[in-house]
């Protein structure tokens, strides 16, 4: 199995198992909303407009995701930081 495909599958599985669904203001915090960004996080491709929109929408939730041990390694990964930079959605200081 291709390592990128395996990484994507693991990312989706971890997000699914995390079952984080909290409400932050008007935003429902659900890491699965960031699934359009998974391919860009694990590869060198640029994120899609959908990914950037979802990342900006979920920005109030990122601190909660960063504190979740199941999601930390993905949220703090170089790929995630690259996507945030490309989408002009810098990570909040938590």
Looking at the domain assignment, is residue 93 inside a domain? no
Q: According to the model, what pLDDT value does residue 20 have?
A: 44
How far apart, in whole angstroms, are the C-alpha atoms of residue 71 and residue 90? 17
pLDDT band at 6; cut points 50, 70, 90: very low
Domain containing 12 equals: 3-86
Q: ∠ CA(28), CA(46), CA(40), 5° rounding? A: 55
Q: According to the model, what pLDDT value does residue 33 have?
A: 94
Looking at the domain assignment, is residue 74 inside a domain? yes
The number of domains in the chain is 1
Q: Between these two residues, 16 and 69, which has the higher pLDDT value?
A: 69
The model's pTM is 0.71
pLDDT digits (tens, 9 = 90+) for 12-39: 444 544 444 444 456 789 999 999 999 9
Looking at the domain assignment, is residue 94 inside a domain? no
Looking at the domain assignment, is residue 92 inside a domain? no
Tell whether the model's pLDDT for residue 92 goes beyond 50: yes
CATH number at residue 41: 1.10.110.10
């Amino acid at each position: 199995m291709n390592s990128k495909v395996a990484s994507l599958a693991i990312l989706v599985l971890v997000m699914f198992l995390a079952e984080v669904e909290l409400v932050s203001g008007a935003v429902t915090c659900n890491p699965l909303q960031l699934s359009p960004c998974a391919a860009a996080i694990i590869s060198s491709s640029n994120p899609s407009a959908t990914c950037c929109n979802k990342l900006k929408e979920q920005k109030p939730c990122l601190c909660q995701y960063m504190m979740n041990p199941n999601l930390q390694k993905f949220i703090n990964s170089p790929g995630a930081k690259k996507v945030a930079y490309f989408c002009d959605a810098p990570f909040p200081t938590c």
